[in-house]
Structure 1
Amino acid sequence: MFLPAGSQDETGIQISNRLRAAESFRLVTKKRNFKTISTPVVEYANTFTNQMAGMDLHSMLKWFNAEGEIEVLRPDWTAAIARAIAGQHPSEQKWSYQGSVFRFDKDETENRQAGIEIVHADQFLGEAESLLTAIAYLKNLTIDTYVIELGHTGIFDAIVGPYHFDEKQELVLLDAMHDKRSDLVEEIVTQAGHPALAEPLVALIDAYGSREIINTYRERWKKHQDLLDILSHIEKLMDLLESAGVTEVIVDLGRVKNLPYYDGIMFRGFLTNDGSTCFSGGRYDRLYEQFQQKTSAVGLAFDVDTLAKHMNAEQEPEKICILATPATHAVAEQFRIDMEEQVVDIQYQLKSDANYQKIYQVVEEDSQYKVVEK
């Protein structure tokens, strides 16, 4: 009644954890030589809806400005950062950011993110640094029960490429693959006049799991060098992650891009206790073509709201109350300043439902004030 759908108030632990997550991210990325960047929360819609970014205007919070142009609340960091750094010298490769994105197609309209972008770097180096930074950050948050999933946009593109679909048909097919709807995939390709495509696409939906999936499809695709190259690339990243101590790495060969600008490796992190996605990202070289740049670009974003829900609560310090009066408030304040490790509250009267570990009082002795424990 008092808030729009998708908006919410917050108090307490969730906010505290999110602030801790933000500071942890700042420190982790600083030590890994990322340069911080921030973009405006209000942008022109075209930054996100142009042919290269390809995002859906209907999912954005938008309005017309005084000149009749459409402005939006930032729906995506990657496209915004690409606009911001396109003119930067290519020696600047590693960027980090923190802030909210706003979309109607999410459970909550506002979603807090922290992420990294690596541009102009060796392709494998960028992907490796993205994933290893994710591992370092989760370790810093003491979150160690997660699974990393790897996929690649090139698999779907290579299999569908020889067949003709109009833009609308392809979008519907992508949605069906994303939702792993075997029945709908078969229906779409059959109605489009390509029934022979149903079997390989439906099989891809179940091509999900351990390294054995790669071995199975390496045999199945032995006559398709482009697909074999993709499998080798995924396996190389799996080797890296396992060498870094990640024991839960899976592949999803049937995964398709959830954002139009992805054009290569894709990765996600899932928390094993409830399956929620804590980070996602991938390669998006083509996004920079709108700036007449042929370069490499890869990154990932953490869902800070999700991470905050799964962080251990911070150890609460001792909570103390100092009873004072308007005349002795300054004395109590000096005592509070000296107690750096505790939470210190000053009150003039102790409430019946007060919850403190210790209570002190400002008293006067020999014409001097001092603070004593009650």
Structure 2
Amino acid sequence: MFLPAGSQDEIGNRLINRSKAYEIFRKITTDRNYKQISTPVVEYATTFTNKYAGMNLQNMLKWFNREGEIEVLRADWTTAIARAVVNQDSSQLKWSYQGSVFRSDKDGIESRQAGIEIVHTPSFLGESECLLTAVTYLTELNTDNYLIELGHTGIFEELTSPLQLTEDQLEKLRGAMHDKRRDVVYQIAASNGQEEIAEALTNLVDAYGSFDIINKYEKMWSDNDRLLNIIKHIKQLANLLKDSGVDEVLVDLGRVKNLPYYCGLMFRGFLKSSGLTCFSGGRYDKLYEQFDERISAVGLAFDVDVLAENLVVEDNLKKVCILATEASHVYAETVRKTYTNSIVDIQYEPTNLEQFDKVVKIVTENNQYKVVEA
């Protein structure tokens, strides 16, 4: 039978690599004192579409339940975990998860993720722990050809606050900033006669790069305390990463939030070989306001599908085939146990024997079974 668009069967190395990536992630997070959490794969749509989460129902896999309410497949881990964590013991600060999210606005409707969420923790500590967990995980995966990018939602918010734009105009401006469309950014920002701010926002489209960008804007924003504090915060984290051995740390001062609940520092990791995003995350304190809570919260999610594609799993196990019969199968099973640290298959009729390093056969001699080279 055919599969729905975006669904696919999977076999072989992709599954092995993904399992290995999950296994390493579980070990890393356990060693760093994270507690595992899982949420249901089916949630109410309002968990993700309320004004605090702000996700688009159109992009979710949804249906009506018997009471007429809309249910969806889990569209986002962070939002679901916030719902779950708010009822947990507040002394538990660090959470980890593994599993799928389902969205119809991507190439495949199912994306495998592994992620961390840190709550009730000072800002710099939580953000540092997120980023250094990412560095440790990528190191354990033998993935060293990556770069980390830092951004901050507060820059866009600070510069646009005097413009008095409508919500619709603000969203269009944010979209133009995201797409790096300088002409549209200037046109919207200057619509109320604020040409100086429009120029500053337009220049931010190209404010992307290394420490030179940080140093440049640290001087430019020396008379704006909020922007200066933001750039100093970014610089402090960039130095932390460089001191921890990360070769390339970039900043994108014109980056805008891609999820509505981000409200501060944002970060992404890219594989240099493909340009693909291997992790992303940021601060999302405001997400907890829906529960009448003021909580420091930051997290990130790894794209396990991307990491698994780039993971090289060394298979050093010897492959052995035992040729047996229905009568000798039990004896063949005892022989299997003698090949420790090996992959062992029992066959009755020889099939694809070239895949095996060793092939033996169970034969009968003097009414007893014995093993011979095939």
Give, in angstroms, the shift of residue 277 of structure 1: 0.3
Q: Is the 8 A contact 2:145 2:273 kept in 1?
A: yes
Distance 1:296 1:352 in 2: 57
Q: How does 1:176-255 map to 2 (within 5 A)?
A: 176-191=176-191, 194-255=194-255
Gaps of at least 5 residues in structure 1 are none
Match of 1:168 in 2: 168
Identity of aligned residues (%): 59
Give, in angstroms, the shift of residue 183 of structure 1: 2.2
Q: Is the 8 A contact 1:121 1:296 kept in 2?
A: yes
Distance 1:281 1:351 in 2: 48
Give, in angstroms, the shift of residue 146 of structure 1: 0.4
SS of 2:162's partner is: coil
> Bigger shift: 220-229 or 351-360?
351-360
In structure 2, relative to structure 1, the CA distance for the partners of 1:154 and 1:352 (3 Å cut) is closer
Q: Is the 8 A contact 2:163 2:192 kept in 1?
A: no
Give, in angstroms, the shift of residue 340 of structure 1: 2.4
Q: Is the 8 A contact 1:73 1:102 kept in 2?
A: yes
Give, in angstroms, the shift of residue 352 of structure 1: 6.1
Distance 2:176 2:105 in 1: 17
Match of 1:155 in 2: 155
TM-score by length of 1: 0.97
Q: How does 1:66-77 map to 2 (within 5 A)?
A: 66-77=66-77
Match of 2:259 in 1: 259
> Bigger shift: 227-236 or 334-343?
334-343
Give, in angstroms, the shift of residue 188 of structure 1: 2.9
Q: Is the 8 A contact 1:17 1:314 kept in 2?
A: no
Q: Is the 8 A contact 1:60 1:102 kept in 2?
A: yes
Q: How does 1:48-67 map to 2 (within 5 A)?
A: 48-67=48-67
In structure 2, relative to structure 1, the CA distance for the partners of 1:110 and 1:332 (3 Å cut) is same
Give, in angstroms, the shift of residue 353 of structure 1: 6.5
Matched residues, number = 374
Match of 1:323 in 2: 323
Q: Is the 8 A contact 2:151 2:266 kept in 1?
A: yes
Distance 2:302 2:224 in 1: 35
Match of 1:299 in 2: 299
Give, in angstroms, the shift of residue 264 of structure 1: 0.3
Give, in angstroms, the shift of residue 156 of structure 1: 0.3
AA matched with 1:291: F
> Bigger shift: 187-196 or 328-337?
187-196
AA matched with 1:269: G
SS of 1:5's partner is: coil
Match of 2:42 in 1: 42
Give, in angstroms, the shift of residue 293 of structure 1: 1.0
RMSD: 1.4
Deviations 1:190-222 (A, max 9, x none): 456654432111100100001110111112112
AA matched with 1:7: S
AA matched with 2:93: Q
AA matched with 1:157: E
Distance 2:193 2:330 in 1: 82
> Bigger shift: 163-172 or 48-57?
163-172
Give, in angstroms, the shift of residue 134 of structure 1: 0.5
Distance 1:194 1:112 in 2: 44
Match of 1:345 in 2: 345
SS of 1:55's partner is: coil
AA matched with 1:229: N
Gaps of at least 5 residues in structure 2 are none
Distance 2:191 2:106 in 1: 31
AA matched with 1:15: L
Give, in angstroms, the shift of residue 314 of structure 1: 2.8
In structure 2, relative to structure 1, the CA distance for the partners of 1:353 and 1:338 (3 Å cut) is closer
SS of 1:361's partner is: strand
Give, in angstroms, the shift of residue 137 of structure 1: 0.6
Distance 2:235 2:145 in 1: 22
Deviations 1:234-290 (A, max 9, x none): 011011111111111111100110000000000000001111100000000000111
AA matched with 1:349: E
In structure 2, relative to structure 1, the CA distance for the partners of 1:226 and 1:352 (3 Å cut) is closer
Distance 1:191 1:101 in 2: 39
Q: Is the 8 A contact 1:152 1:256 kept in 2?
A: yes
